[in-house]
A and B are shown apart, each in its own frame.
Chain A
């Protein structure tokens, strides 16, 4: 069974704080993703990574950065948190095989920025 874990289920931070969200997967997947989910807006891709130290911007990268130093770990960083970054953050991983890739999700982190 693929397991994707996220460091916190709920997080409350203050405006201007630096925030780290950690994600770990245990299936040796090459691809890892960070999304945010907001009501009525679906899942929006922030960043993804297809290899260690490799990253690509998703649809809404502004205000975020990422780090992938090890294959199993993908971190999302909010350099200076703002109230409009209050959201549910979802990490996913996948393995591309035969042109097919199913993404496996972690439980999510509900971040509130005050």
Chain B
């Protein structure tokens, strides 16, 4: 049973517009959420994270919003650029000294020029 769900396998947006990638989770004990970006034939690279005690974290064009009551987080990319075209994975960490991350299946983002 998937504890971290990315319900949209793919998303297509125009260059310059906002990209919104969504992630839902079921376990209220997760204490950190992370977003990774992955290009084909490369390893995932860390993008941005958020602690469960916060509701927003921003880093340049990337903002992550966390809605704990809805068990939902979203990644906003503004403005979207063609180089943002990649697969985005949402991951969650269990509370305390949990070493593993629980991963969503990913959303493939295509930013069209």
Residues of chain A whose beta carbon lies under 8 Å from any beta carbon of chain B: 4, 9, 31, 33, 40-43, 45, 48, 50, 58, 88, 90-92, 94, 96, 99-108, 110
Interface contact A101-B44, CB-CB below 8 Å: no
Chain B interface, DSSP helix/strand/loop, else mixed: loop
**Distance in angstroms between the alpha carbons of A45 and B99 in the assembled complex:** 12
**Distance in angstroms between the alpha carbons of A90 and B87 in the assembled complex:** 15
Interface contact B46-A42, CB-CB below 8 Å: no
Residues of chain B whose beta carbon lies under 8 Å from any beta carbon of chain A: 9, 31-32, 34, 36, 41-46, 49, 51, 89, 93, 95-97, 99-101, 103-106
Interface contact B89-A4, CB-CB below 8 Å: no
**Distance in angstroms between the alpha carbons of A9 and B51 in the assembled complex:** 34
Interface contact A102-B49, CB-CB below 8 Å: yes
- Which of B45, B97, B105 contacts A42 (CB under 8 A)? B105
Interface contact B103-A94, CB-CB below 8 Å: no
Chain A interface, DSSP helix/strand/loop, else mixed: strand
Which B residues are CB-close (under 8 A) to A4? Answer: 43
Top 7 nearest A-B pairs by Cβ distance? A105-B43, A42-B105, A43-B103, A31-B99, A105-B44, A108-B43, A107-B43
Which B residues are CB-close (under 8 A) to A40? Answer: 9, 105
- Known contacts: A48-B99, A48-B100, A50-B99. The answer to whether A99 contacts B31 by CB under 8 A is yes
Whole-angstrom distance from the CB of B42 to the nearest CB of chain A? 6
Which B residues are CB-close (under 8 A) to A105? Answer: 36, 43-45
